[in-house]
Amino acid sequence: MPSNTIGTNGQITRDARSRYVQRAEDGAHGAFEAETKRAGGAPRAEVDVQRGAAPADVAAILGESAGAEVVIRSRRMFDGERLVQLADTYIPAAVAEAAPAVAQLDTGAGGIISRMADAGLTQTDVVEDVQQVPATAAQAEALGVQQGALLLTITHVGRTNDGRVIEVTRHVLGEGWTLRYGVPLD
C-alpha cells in the first residue's frame, strides 16, 4: 500500500493514494497522524475549535451563504518539533449537529472523517485542488518563510454519495513537500 515518506533531509512525500482509507491505522486520529507515524516521524497537532464564518470562497464551496456559521478546526501540524503544515477545516453547522464529535478537540481514531461516517455522513468523493499561493504574514511567521513566498496549498473538498459537501479543509504546506497522486487507468 502506498505510504508517505520523510527523507533524511526532511523532505516529505505525501502519497494521497491511500491516506484517507488508512486514517485510523493503529488508533491514529486522522490521516496526518497515521501517515507520519508510518513514515517514522513523530506527529503532533495543536488544535483550536470554534464557531465562526468561513471565508467567502469556502462558504460557496460548502453551499452556505456568506457569514453562515460553521465549525472551524484550525490545526498546526508538526513532525516532532518541526511545524510542517497549517490546516483549517470548515464544517457546516448542520453536519456538526449530526456529528457533534467533529467540534471536539479530540475526535478519536480516524478523526473527523470517521466521526462523520459514524453519523451516516460517509465521504465517498474527495477532490483536492493544489495551488501555489503567497504566504500571508501569519503563515510566513509560523512556517519560517518570507512573507509572499510561494507555498503549496491543498483545498480538500469531501462529499457524500449524494454530492453534499460536508467539509472543506485548506492545508498550507511548509517548505520541502512533494505531493503524489495516482489515477486508475482501467
Note the pLDDT tens digit of each residue in 114-123: 889 999 999 9
**Nearest residue to 153 (alpha-carbon basis) of 91, 70, 86, 66:** 86
Long-range Cβ contact pairs of 141-144 (< 8 A, separation 24 or more): 142/76, 142/83, 142/86, 143/83, 143/86, 143/172, 143/174, 143/175, 144/83, 144/174, 144/175
Q: What is the pLDDT of residues 56-110, one digit of tens each?
A: 999 999 999 988 999 999 999 998 998 999 999 999 999 999 999 999 888 887 7
C-alpha dist (Å) from residue 111 to 8, 46, 80, 178 = 28, 14, 20, 23
